[in-house]
Amino acid sequence: MTCEEQPKTLGWISKLLALWIAIAIVIGLALGKYLPGFSSTLEIGIPIGLFFMIYPAMTKIEISELKKAVRSPKQTSIIVFFNYAVNPFLLFVLGYVFFEVIFPYFHLIDPVTARYLWTGLILLGVAPCIAMVLVWTDLCKGNGPLGIVLMAWNSIIQIVTTPLFIALLIGTYVSIDITVIGESILLYLGLPLLFGAITRREIIKRKSQEWFQKNSYPTLIHSS
């Protein structure tokens, strides 16, 4: 590293990410309690908000790198193994320990609420998040193209595994609407990737690769 180079650090927006999440949770719970009918009005904001969260990360992706990421069976296999052979059962056990044993024993929550929370934790384990994968990957300066490939694999695998895990761990059968999965892939993967690629190409064409890396919106928001 030369004396002119400075190590990259998170900007203040990213450093306070935990605070923003906590504030969002409090606001969401308050709206749900005091304005329950308002949630339907805010539903349109969910895909819009997620788009603008994922879009900056997508502008950093070079389409040519996706081919290399597709040919990464070792990394993909490791993630798939932990997502579907370890994670659901791990969260099932953790949920049992906390929501069926510890919390009821100390009378921290009532049994009905504990069971709902345990069920929610299980659902989180059997259906790994796909929309936020690239956001976390981008924040930790990870492999963006590989993250896109894993998002696609997760979407496909969940069609088969989610009903099976819910039946096994919760005891309820559910059906998965393939069209919903397709819409999710389009909204949270396809469109951000398309607009991100267009943005990247146009900025580099009008400026330069170096200018884009130093001054583009994604760089400014994630680094100081």
Amino acid 95: pLDDT: 93
pLDDT for the residue numbered 98 = 93
CA dist list (Å): 166 to 88, 116, 194: 10, 14, 34
**Residue 87, pLDDT score:** 93
**Residue 115: Cβ within 10 Å count:** 15
| 15, part of any domain | no
Q: Structure pTM? A: 0.69
Query: What is residue 113's predicted lDDT score, i.e. its pLDDT?
Result: 85
Residue 56 lies in a domain: yes
pLDDT score recorded for residue 10: 64
**What's the domain count of the chain?**
1
Q: Strand, coil or helix: what is 217? A: helix
Which residues, in sequence order, are CB contacts of 57 under 8 Å at separation 6+? 134, 135, 137, 138, 144, 192, 196, 218
Which ranges of the chain have pLDDT less than 70?
1-10, 129-131, 216-224
Do the Cβ atoms of 11 and 220 come closer than 8 Å? yes
| Residue range of the domain that includes 217 | 51-222
What pLDDT is recorded for position 224? 36
pLDDT digits (tens, 9 = 90+) for 122-152: 988 888 766 677 777 877 778 888 888 888 8
pLDDT at 220: 38
Separation CA 114–CA 134 (nearest Å): 31
pLDDT attached to residue 1: 45
1: Cα separation from own chain's centroid:
33
Residues in the chain: 224
Spatial distance between the Cα atoms of 119 and 100, rounded to a whole number of angstroms: 11
Q: Which residues contact 1 (CB under 8 A, 6 or more apart)?
A: 7
Establish if 20 belongs to a structural domain: no
Q: What is the pLDDT at residue 109?
A: 84
Residue at 35 is within a domain: no
